[in-house]
Amino acid sequence: MRNVKRILVHLKSGSKYLVKELHDDYHTQNGVVKASDFRKASLESSTGEKFLCLEPNFIDLWENLKRGPQIITQKDIGLILAKTGVNSKSKVVDAGGGSGSLCLALANVCNEVTTYEVNPEHYDVVSRNKQLLGAKNLIIKQANVYEGIKEKKLDLITLDLPEPWKVVEHAQDSLKTGGFLVVYLPNLNQMKMFIDSCRRTKIKVLDTLELLERKWVIEDRIMRPEFQMLGHTGFLTFCRRL
Ligand SMILES: C[S@@+](CC[C@H](N)C(=O)[O-])C[C@H]1O[C@@H](n2cnc3c(N)ncnc32)[C@H](O)[C@@H]1O
């Protein structure tokens, strides 16, 4: 059950507030919103500022994930979803859980996701984020994925950890034929080691790529890319079990 009941969006600034208690008035930097107004889709605070009052959707909550280790960003999550075609029937294993960014995004579209996280502190972070998102179909295991994967007939395994080559044999045993293995790594030398480890296995490497994201400023007479862009985050290698 999600503990966030409403999202208040301040129209002027775009600031978002997460409301957890519907019976209490909510204090924002732009005035107080009355509890009796939470039923309205648009409302005004005590200082006359306009707000939208929305049912929380996945992305409103995802933006508020508690941060532990470095997360996988939306651009890379989007490509993983697009290139593996996972859907509401899919069974997935993810490792390591980290902050839960990827496994929660997968749980938002898949039938069941199990994430392995070896570090107890990160296990707590991902557990808290599971609660924030209300992701009942996410199973979090405090376990070392290098020692094995219990789940079988998987549609997808995602790996975001330092030594993915230690998971190739387990992935071979746990993926269904045609299932996908996706590896995310910041350095190419690690990726080369992973790709080499797939030789003479049933894991066929399809593509290695990275995505660069450049936002644009479009206002009045200005139309140009932002000076800073989200450049290198990580390399992605997509594989399929033969
Ligand atoms: C970069 S973080 C993963 C971030 C995550 N993909 C996300 O989007 O939030 C890498 C995580 O892998 C975990 N890890 C490293 N080795 C592991 C192993 N052998 N088994 C399970 N988890 C492992 C680390 O503790 C760390 O939390």
pLDDT of residue 3: 82
Inter-residue contact 174 to 149 (CB < 8 Å):
yes
Q: Let me know if the fold of 6-56 is the same as that of 61-241.
A: no
- Average of per-residue pLDDT values in the chain: 96
- Rounded Cα gap, residues 59 and 42, in angstroms: 20
**17 Cα: distance to centroid of ligand 1 (angstroms):** 29
**Domain ranges within the chain, ordered by starting residue:** 6-56, 61-241
**97 Cα: distance to centroid of ligand 1 (angstroms):** 5
- What predicted TM-score, i.e. pTM, was given to this entire model? 0.94
Q: Residues lining ligand 1, judged by CB closer than 6 Å?
A: 69-72, 95-96, 98-102, 116-119, 122, 144-146, 160-161
Domain boundaries 6-56, corresponding CATH code: 3.10.330.20
Strand order in the sheet with 50-54: 16-19, 6-10, 50-54, 42-44
CATH architecture, domain defined by 61-241: 3-Layer(aba) Sandwich (3.40)
pLDDT of residue 229: 87
Mean pLDDT of all residues in 169-180:
98
- Of 242, 215, 205, 222, which is closest to residue 73 (Cα–Cα)? 215
pLDDT digits (tens, 9 = 90+) for 198-225: 999 999 999 999 999 999 999 999 999 9
